[in-house]
Chain A
Amino acid sequence: MNFLNNIQEFTKEYIEVGEFYENCRCLFGLELIAENDGFSKKIREGSIHRPGLALAGFLDLFTYNRVQIFGNTEIKFLHSLPDEKRIQSLKKFFEYDIPCIVFSNDHTPNEKFIDFARERKVSIFKSKHATTKLIYFLSDFLDDQFAPQCSIHGSFVDVYGVGLLFVGISGIGKSEIALDLVERGHRLVADDLIIATRKGEGVLMGTGSKIMKHFLEIRGLGLLNVEKIFGIRAIRYQKRIEVVVVLEVWDENKDYTRTGLDKQTINILGIELPMVILPILPGKNVTVIAEVIALNYLLKHYGYDAAEDMQERIKQQIQEKTEKRDKRIVSYFEHDFE
């Protein structure tokens, strides 16, 4: 498919500590303890690390380039060391180019620790959360930041809670369908430029671009702001992409599915999504069909498949008929005089 061939997968190479802090502060109250000079340092990995072993002196596999978490164990361990040894251990630890350090359980480092960090321009943060919870939050955030992304040309609407992504060549009417769906009470996620992100295994999230969120272009009208016209109920910021609807000009020579038994899928960022190819014909109400696609998807999700149901019924009927006939294998006995 031409318009999806152009998908270019990309992943962030790094995020800066400053950006990391700004986001985590808003998301789960990460606090800055010391050092602002380290905000331009780069976090290049989505994983995090608890440096217990590194502090103990085992530095062979020290993944220093990850965000370092100091929990109860690390703190207790450092406290247990005699002063001289502790300084030696920290000295070695800070020799590595660490992006930043996060203390859990509301712990705060002592002056000596802060001095070391300041010297090496390493930012120190703290969090009220317990270590396990903090690790969960941080990993989730970093996973998202380093998730594979791509931009897709299409329209993306939440229809009855199902994320329908409309794709097709320019001018086929993607935006018009989106507008029509909004008018019928559904919610626009993004039009024209959709940024898809793989979240976890098997989930594809879609959102619009920062600048153009919830703007639509309708040929002949120009640019429209959907949020201003229809209000807050007409929009949403993000949605899982669940079904891809491919709009195309009716092609006589192409076979379109008639039963729905041949389930078609499309691969975006390594995730297989159900796909519906919809030929556009005069008199075809694509909006209603889109609603039905969403409802049918929901129905399937709850365990009912119309095509399979029909297939099952037909199979049963045929079987019954055959059984009836089978009661007497020979339908007509010729005279048999023996």
Chain B
Amino acid sequence: MIEKEVTILNRAGLHTRPAATLVKLASKFKSDFYLMQDNLVVNGKSIIGVMTLCAEQGSKLKLRFDGEDEEEAAKEIVDYFNRGFDEL
């Protein structure tokens, strides 16, 4: 299991488009992917879950990857966060 902390960098936050891309990315991997904010744990492979977070610019999220390809998944997804969902 890998846990990473990321910050939302882009201005618009984790809105519909990045949420959809994120879910698509996560679905490529076999590993379970969860996002955590405060007390809320959501499944990263479900668009509604990810959108529920309504994560705004500057907010911090904890990501959890668990499964056989967790390292690749973590690398790619954390990278997507760090690129500010390609909106920077």
A residues at B contact (CB < 8 Å): 2-3, 6-8, 10, 149-151, 153, 170-171, 191-193, 209, 211-212, 215-217, 223
By secondary structure, the B interface counts as mixed
Q: What is the CA–CA distance of A7 and B34 in the complex, to the nearest angstrom?
A: 11
Chain B residue at minimal CB-CB distance from A8: B41
3 smallest CB-CB distances across A and B, nearest first, come from A192-B48, A10-B39, A170-B45
Q: Given the known A-B contacts A6-B34, A6-B41, are A211 and B46 also in contact in the complex, defined by CB atoms under 8 Å?
A: no
**Is the beta-carbon distance between B47 and A193 smaller than 8 angstroms?**
no
**Is the beta-carbon distance between A6 and B32 smaller than 8 angstroms?**
yes
Nearest CB in chain A: distance from B15 CB, A: 12
**Is the beta-carbon distance between B32 and A192 smaller than 8 angstroms?**
no
Nearest CB in chain A: distance from B72 CB, A: 18
Nearest CB in chain A: distance from B29 CB, A: 11
For A192, the chain B residues whose CB sits under 8 A away are: 43, 46, 48-49, 52
Number of A-B residue pairs with CB-CB distance less than 8 Å in the complex they form: 55
Count of B interface residues, CB-CB < 8 Å: 18
Q: Given the known A-B contacts A2-B32, A211-B54, are A151 and B48 also in contact in the complex, defined by CB atoms under 8 Å?
A: no
Which residues of B from 36 to 88 have beta carbons under 8 Å from A? 36, 39-43, 45-49, 51-52, 54, 64
Q: List 9 A-B contacts (CB under 8 A).
A: A6-B64, A151-B39, A151-B41, A153-B49, A192-B48, A193-B43, A193-B46, A193-B48, A212-B51
- Contact among A7, A8, A150, A170 for B46, CB-based, below 8 A: A170
For A8, the chain B residues whose CB sits under 8 A away are: 36, 39, 41
Cβ of B10 within 8 Å of any chain A Cβ, yes or no, is no
For A151, the chain B residues whose CB sits under 8 A away are: 39-42
**Is the beta-carbon distance between B39 and A193 smaller than 8 angstroms?**
no
Chain A residue at minimal CB-CB distance from B47: A217
For B7, the chain A residues whose CB sits under 8 A away are: none
Chain B residue at minimal CB-CB distance from A174: B46
Most B Cβ at <10 Å: residue of A6, A149, A215, A216: A6
Chain A residue at minimal CB-CB distance from B16: A223
- Contact among A7, A149, A193, A223 for B42, CB-based, below 8 A: A193
For B34, the chain A residues whose CB sits under 8 A away are: 6
